Amino acid sequence: MSSPDSHLEPGLTEEHARTLAQEAGFTEAGLVALPHVEEARDSERFDQWVEAGRAGTMRYLSRQNDQGQRVRARVGVPFPWARSAIVCLASYHSAQPRSTEPADRSAGWIARYAWSSRVHPDGVRRPSDYHKVLLKRLKEMNSRLHEQYGEFESRAYVDTGPVVERALATAAGLGWTAKNTCLIHPKIGSYAFLGVLLTSLAAQEAKALTLPDRCGSCRRCLDACPTNALFAPYQMDATKCISYLTIEHRGSISADLMQGMGRQVFGCDICQDVCPWNRKAPISADDELEARAELVNPVLEGLALLDERAFAEKFNGSPVRRAGFLGLRRNIAIAMGNSGERQFAARLRAWAVAADEGLRSAAAWALEKLEEK
> Which bin fits 25, alpha (ψ -120 to 50), beta or left (φ > 0)?
left
Catalytic residue flag (residue 66): no
- CB 253 within 8 Å of CB 327: no
Other beta carbons within 10 angstroms of residue 37's beta carbon come to 11
What is the edge-to-edge ordering of all strands in the sheet holding 192-199? 28-33, 84-91, 192-199, 154-157
What is the C-alpha separation between 221 and 92, in angstroms, rounded? 20
**CA 312: distance to chain centroid?**
21
Q: Which helix (H) or strand (E) holds 30?
A: strand 28-33
Q: For 61-73, give one letter per residue: b (16+ CB within 10 A) or e.
A: bbeeeeeebbbbb
Strands 116-119 and 290-291: antiparallel
Supply the Cα-derived Rg of the chain in whole angstroms.
22
Bridge-based pairing of strands 183-184 and 192-199 is unpaired
SS3 call for 81: coil
Catalytic residue among 42, 129, 159, 307: 159
Does 35 sit behind a cis peptide bond, omega within 30 degrees of 0 on the bond before it? yes
- Which residues carry out catalysis? 159
